[in-house]
Amino acid sequence: MDQTPPQSAAAREVSLPELFTGFLIIGLLGFGGLAMSAYYMIVEKRRWLDKKEFSELFAICSILPGGNIMNCTIMIGARYQGALGSVVSMSALLLMPLLILIAVAMTYDHFSYLPDVRAAMAGAASAAAGLIVATATKLGLGVVWRAAPIAFALTTFVAVSFFRAPLWLVIVVIGSSSVLLASRAGKRS
Amino acid sequence: MKDEDALSGLLIIFISSAFFSMGGASTLIPEFHRQIVDLHGFMTSPDFAKTVALAQIAPGPNMLIVSLIGWQVAGLPGLLVSTFAIVVPPSCIAYFSWRGMERLKDAAWLRAVKVGLAPVVVGLMLASGAITAQAANHDAIGYALTLFTALFTHFMKRNPLWVIGSGALVGVLAYRTGLMSLV
C-alpha cells in the first residue's frame, strides 16, 4: 500500500496547525454552503491545491457519500498529515459551526414563547423553502434539458413530493437508469 | 427508554441517509422529513420547517442540519449522535478512497455519473423545496412569501442570511398587522 499520493504542482508541506486554522476559517466563513469559502482558502489564500486539483478533488468528493466539502476536508487532511490530519481538519471545520448552531438553537428555545419570535421563525421558514426552490432552479440552468433528463427530473419530483418515495428507491431506480443512459450517450459521442 | 429509542432512531436514519446523499444536504431534506416526521413522529411538520430555517442561520457544512434535528429531538446527546452519524461513516470512506483518486479522476464513468445524476438532483431539490414549503406554510401569506423568495433568490445574488432575515421580518409584520396567524 505504498502508492504515491496525488502529486501537487508544488509538492509542499502543510502542518497540522496550518490545517487547523485553515479549516476553522472555512467553517466560519461558509454561509449557505462551503464551496466558496473552501475554494477561497484552499486555492487562493493558502495555495494548498491549484485550481485544477481543487476541481478534480471536488468532483470526486461530490459523488462519494456524505457532504462534498466534508469529504474534501478528509482528503486534504490525509494528503498532508495522514489520518491525524483528517481528524484535525474535520474537527476544525465543525467546531465553530456546531457551537454557533447550539447557541442559535438555545437562543430560539429560550425566546420561542414570544409571539413575535414565533412569527419571525414562521416567516424565516417560508423564506427558507423559497431559498431551496431557487437553489433547484439555478442548478437546473446547468443541465442540458433533453427529453430524458426532463423525464428523470419530473419523475423524481413527483415520486418524492407526492408519493413520498424513500431516497434509496429513487437512487436505485431513477438515478441508476439516468446514469446508465448518460454513459451510453457518452460512448456514442 | 424513550430517549434511547430516539437516539438509536436518529443514528440509523442519518447513517443510512449519508450513504444515499448526493448533491448536498438539501437533497436529503425529503428523506429526513419522511423519516423524522412521517415515520417516527420525532417532530411536527412545522417544527421541521423551522429547523430547516434555523440551520441556514449558522455557518458551516449544510449537513449540520442533522445536528440541529438531533438537538431538537433529544438535546445534546441527540446532537452528538446525529453529527457522528452524518460525519464519521462517510469520512472513513473518503479517507480510504483518497489514494485511488488518481485512477478515479479521468474515468469516463465519473462523467456519466455526474451527467446522469444532475437531473435527479434537480428533481430532489425541487421536491425538497415543495416539502419544506408544505411544512412551513399554512396560509396564502406563507406560500406567497415562499414564491417571492424563490423568484428573488433566483434572479438576484444575495447572501442566504439576508434572505432568511427578510423572511423573518415579513413574518413579524404579517403577524402584527393581523395578516398571518400563528399555529
Cα–Cα distance for residue pair B110/B100, rounded to 1 Å: 13
B85 neighbourhood in chain A, CB within 8 Å: none
The domain boundary, picked from A74, A109, A144, lies at A109
Q: Answer whether B60's CB lies under 8 Å from A98's CB.
A: yes
Query: Percent of chain A scored above 70 by pLDDT?
Result: 93
Least Cα distance to A160 among B17, B115, B126, B18 occurs for: B126
C-alpha cell at B50: 423551522
Q: Could you tell me which of A108, A77, A112, A109 has the C-alpha nearest to residue A92?
A: A77
Asked whether residue A45 falls in the same domain as residue A124, the answer is no
What residues have CB less than 8 Å from A41, skipping those under 6 apart? A22, A23, A25, A26, A29
A160 → closest Cβ in B30, B142, B164: B30
Average pLDDT of the residues in A17-23: 96
- Residues A28-33 have a mean pLDDT of 78
Q: Do residues B112 and A186 touch, judged by C-beta distance below 8 A?
A: yes
- Over residues A86-115, the pLDDT tens digits come to 999 999 999 999 999 999 999 999 999 999
User: In whole angstroms, what separates CA A24 from the centre of its chain?
Assistant: 16
- pLDDT-wise least confident of A76-90, A142-156, B54-68, B104-118: B104-118
Are A144 and B107 contacting, i.e. CB atoms less than 8 angstroms apart?
no
Residue A8 pLDDT level (bands cut at 50, 70, 90): very low
Cell of B153: 433568490
Residue B34 lies in a domain: yes
B82 touches chain A (CB under 8 A): no
User: Does residue B115 carry a pLDDT above 60?
Assistant: yes
E-strand stretches of chain A: none
Residues A157-169: b if buried by 16+ CB within 10 A, e if exposed: bebbbeeebbbee
Domains held by chain B: number: 1
Q: How many domains is chain A partitioned into structurally?
A: 2
Measured CA to CA, the distance from residue B181 to residue B26 in angstroms comes to 28
Mean pLDDT throughout B125-141? 94
| Tens-digit pLDDT profile for residues A138-156 | 989 988 889 999 999 999 9
Residue A180 has pLDDT above 90, yes or no: yes
Expressed as residue numbers, the domain containing B92 is 2-106
Which residue among A61, A167, A182 places its CB closest to the CB of B115? Answer: A182
Q: Provide the pLDDT for residue A32.
A: 67
The structure's pTM equals 0.89
Domain assignment present for residue A136? The answer is: yes
**Residues B48-58: what's their mean pLDDT?**
91
Using an 8 Å CB-CB cutoff, list chain B residues near A66. Answer: 18, 21, 63, 86-87, 89-91, 93-94
What is the C-alpha to C-alpha distance for residues B1 and B5, in angstroms, rounded to an integer? 6
Give the pLDDT of residue B103: 67
Average pLDDT of every residue of chain A: 89
Any CB–CB contact under 8 A between B157 and chain A? no
| pLDDT (tens digit per residue) in A154-167 | 999 999 999 999 99
Residues A103 and A128 in one domain: no
pLDDT value, residue A34 = 85
For residue range B79-112, list pLDDT tens digits in order.
999 999 999 999 999 998 877 766 666 677 778 8
CB atoms near residue A103 (< 10 Å)? 11
Residues in contact with B35: Cβ distance below 8 Å, sequence separation at least 6, in sequence order: B13, B17
Determine, yes or no, domain membership for B29.
yes
Round to whole Å and give the CA distance between A102 and B58.
Answer: 9
Complex confidence, ipTM:
0.91
Q: Would you say A157 and B127 are in contact if contact means Cβ atoms under 8 Å apart?
A: yes
- Structural domain for A154, as ranges: 118-188
* Residue A35 and residue A99 in one domain: yes
Of the three residues A52, A74, A109, the one that is the final residue of a domain is A109
CA atoms of A73 and B182, how far apart (whole Å) = 42
C-alpha neighbours within 13 Å on the C-beta side of residue A11: 4
